[in-house]
Structure 1
């Protein structure tokens, strides 16, 4: 069985413990190495790492500045920012500094594991890639419908599901389904990252 070495850097021990249990239970062969700071990570982690999960609120050198710090030690290893701070500026900054993915801590365990598996397969920005067995709960569309494009446009304007539903004369449940399809299509985990990805790909003005 192939071992996957995952370096988890977060200063909250309880969160690290919970995520470690989730990853060990759902990812066969996962070996989790924990660190509470960037310095601790570089001192204690093995030389061979497959992916780095990085929080941005860390003691000393913070997570965003630490992306470049980690890339110097492990230049070929993908860095995934995992944080509760998913504002547009934070997401944009993390991706611009070299993170391959931004995952919100508010995501479900299923979503976090699915996105992490894609990163491990090298699927960073491929909207039409299909998930592997058990990776994703919802199917990923190969394209957006005209209605989903309307929802995406309003989402990028900062509208909530309730406001989008009112504007398009839809139920909130219907809008919620469209938003989940959009997140899957764009290979992102939050509305903020969806807006950033849509603008980067020229899907919205």
Structure 2
């Protein structure tokens, strides 16, 4: 399994590397600290099985890079990994084409389950968004 991690915080990258070994004992992990580097790698022919994307990078904000990735590389699944996990951010990411949204405050088991679902072609939506859809809060 080949995974591209687009994240500018080394500690988060190492944590994600560790979790990925629970899915595949020897994952091929490529890292990009900047949006521009991720685009260069993909435009150069890299086609990972999955892209794990932070929304707040030094050279790209919000869903800008996500929208660009979905436009240029529609066959590459992208999962957003973010500390910004309010309902609006999550639904915006899913609406922009993310195959999943995983909060950085999630447990390892949630992360593993979500990634396995996406790798099988599913879409992971956090439970709080599903709960809000079933039981909407009054405005």
TM range (shorter): 0.7 to 0.9
Q: What secondary structure sits across from 2:112 in the alignment?
A: helix
**Contact conserved, 1:103 with 1:190, CA < 8 A, in 2?**
no
**Contact conserved, 1:54 with 1:63, CA < 8 A, in 2?**
no
- Please list, as runs of the form range in 1=range in 2, the aligned pairs for 1:32-181 lying within 5 A after superposition: 32-45=29-42, 47-124=46-123
Higher strand share: 2
Which of 189, 195, 199 in structure 1 is aligned with 2:126?
189
What do the CA deviations read for 1:66-100 (whole angstroms, capped 9, x no partner)?
11111233211111111111111111111111112
Give the paired residue count: 134
The structure having more radius of gyration, on CA atoms, is: 1
Shift >6 Å, 4+ stretches: none
Are residue 5 (structure 1) and residue 32 (structure 2) matched? Answer: no
- Coordinate RMSD, CA, aligned: 1.9
Q: What secondary structure sits across from 1:82 in the alignment?
A: strand
What do the CA deviations read for 1:156-177 (whole angstroms, capped 9, x no partner)?
xxxxxxxxxxxxxxxxxxxxxx
The verdict on how the C-alpha distance between 1:120 and 1:26 changes in structure 2, with shifts beyond 3 A counting, is: closer
Shift of residue 195, structure 1, vs aligned partner:
3.5
Give me the TM-score of the superposition, normalised by structure 2: 0.85
**Contact conserved, 2:80 with 2:93, CA < 8 A, in 1?**
yes
**Contact conserved, 2:23 with 2:116, CA < 8 A, in 1?**
no
